[in-house]
Amino acid sequence: MGVLGVTYKPDTDVVEEAVGVHLARELAERGIAVVAYDPAGNSNAQEALGNRVQLAESARECIAVADVIVMVTPWQEFLSLPVEVWARHNPPRVVIDCWRVLKRLSGVEGIQYVPLGFFKKEE
């Protein structure tokens, strides 16, 4: 399982009470292998998570080693990754988008895109 974003918001290194840290910790405590990455929060996350969660050196590395990716913090770095980085065949990679900011992944072969949250259709 991959967790992209362990800071509480983009452009900060603060991980205290961040959803990404809570998610990574909870999954690891349940015996799930977790790899996480955050452009600014990796060192603080290491302190918060200890050795229970592997920290990747890049978003690409985190994505490459995970069957399921949860995009928790919408860093621009994640949004600008090419579609090819996200896709994987046999089986497709699952991308759970907590912010609905990766809509371009919907319907792409090799990706099972799961947008979370309420979405109001425009009339």
| Residue range 93-108: mean pLDDT, rounded | 96
**Confidence label for 8 from pLDDT (cuts 50, 70 and 90):** very high
| Residue range 15-42: mean pLDDT, rounded | 96
Write the CATH number of the domain with boundaries 2-115.
Answer: 3.40.50.720
Q: What's the pTM value of the predicted model, to 2 decimals?
A: 0.92
Residue range 38-75, pLDDT digits in tens: 999 999 999 999 899 999 999 999 999 999 999 999 99
DSSP-assigned states of every residue in 65-121: T-SEEEE-S--HHHHTS-HHHH--TTTTEEEEETTS--GGGTT-TTEEEEE-S--PP
- Inform me whether the pLDDT recorded for 22 exceeds 80: yes
Domain boundaries, the chain: 2-115
For residue 117, what pLDDT is reported? Answer: 78
Q: Give ∠ CA 40-35-17 in degrees, rounded to 5.
A: 55
| Residue range 74-94: mean pLDDT, rounded | 96
